[in-house]
A and B are shown apart, each in its own frame.
Chain A
């Protein structure tokens, strides 16, 4: 083994790791992700029936799905969904809720200020930073290109 250099060892170690069950993972990601989105569609249609306009429906659907994600995280079910669904559970907005609620619950033991509140965005922080930042850039670019016309 002394003759193996770092790069060779890393490649070698990779070969010893069992490969993911690709087909199964993809299938479950499709089913879980598709299912959550279909639920979102059902919620959207129901909100339209209440007479809300597009903007209110969009926000309302987000809020309801976030509640569902938060609730399932609270009762200890969402992590099981995530284990099976992988990206199918992480990518929908319910996964966003899970990534905020799970640290909030976890760090309660350090108190409500330094635990819950301070650590709540430890996983979702990048989403807010990069989302907000890039949206501002898009808005500014729009102004530049509009003025340029």
Chain B
């Protein structure tokens, strides 16, 4: 059951992005930034949390989930360490993912070449 919820929630979030892509002049880069910052602010005001509880990975895997993780981390950092925590909290919470992206990106560039299309 939770797999179905993840599928639907994640699918719908992507559908919203696809509709924006197809009907406006916005590019994927715009969409990623919009979804990301929406996740940050919706997370900040507590609206994204229920979506995560319901949709699980369907809410955390999209880039809006990354924004949610950033804001949750920033708030926790602010709670425990005040202003310094507000600065460091977001990156602290998402550090693993960012570090992984950097490392895997580097390794893949050593190992593979872009293919002719």
* Chains A and B in contact, CB within 8 Å: yes
Question: Which A residues lie at the B interface, using CB under 8 A?
Answer: 20, 22, 25-26, 29-45, 55, 58-63, 65-67, 70-71, 73-76, 79, 85-88, 90-93, 95-97, 99-102, 104-108, 112, 116-117, 120, 123-124, 126-128, 130-132, 134-136, 138-143, 146
CB-defined contacts of A62 to chain B, threshold 8 Å: 66, 94, 96-97, 100
Contact B74 A93 (CB under 8 A): no
Q: Which residue of A lies closest to B36 (CB)?
A: A131
Interface residues of B in 98-113 (CB under 8 A from A): 98, 100-102, 104-113
Contact B96 A59 (CB under 8 A): yes
- A67 to B17 CA separation, bound complex (whole angstroms): 23
A136 to chain B, nearest CB (A): 5
Contact B82 A143 (CB under 8 A): yes
Contact A34 B8 (CB under 8 A): yes
B2 to chain A, nearest CB (A): 6
Given contacts A74-B111, A138-B41, contact A97 B104 (CB under 8 A): yes
CB-defined contacts of A136 to chain B, threshold 8 Å: 74, 86-87, 90
B5 to chain A, nearest CB (A): 8
A137 to chain B, nearest CB (A): 8
Q: How large is the interface on B (under 10, 10 to 19, 20 to 34, 35 or more residues)?
A: 35 or more
- A42 to B101 CA separation, bound complex (whole angstroms): 21
Main secondary structure on B side of the interface with A? helix
Q: Which residue of A lies closest to B85 (CB)?
A: A139
- A31 to B8 CA separation, bound complex (whole angstroms): 9
- A117 to B106 CA separation, bound complex (whole angstroms): 8
Given contacts A70-B105, A143-B82, contact A138 B100 (CB under 8 A): no
6 tightest Cβ-Cβ pairs between the two chains A and B: A37-B10, A33-B14, A139-B86, A34-B11, A135-B90, A139-B74
Q: Which residue of A lies closest to B91 (CB)?
A: A132
20 residue pairs A–B, Cβ–Cβ below 8 Å = A40-B10, A42-B3, A61-B60, A70-B101, A87-B28, A90-B17, A90-B31, A91-B14, A93-B97, A96-B63, A97-B105, A105-B109, A105-B112, A126-B33, A131-B40, A132-B70, A136-B86, A138-B43, A138-B90, A142-B74
Q: Which residue of A lies closest to B7 (CB)?
A: A34
- A59 to B65 CA separation, bound complex (whole angstroms): 12
Contact A123 B109 (CB under 8 A): no
Contact A126 B18 (CB under 8 A): no
Q: Which residue of A lies closest to B38 (CB)?
A: A134
Give B32-76 as 1s and 0s: 1 = Cβ < 8 Å from A's Cβ atoms.
110111001101100000000001111011111111011101110
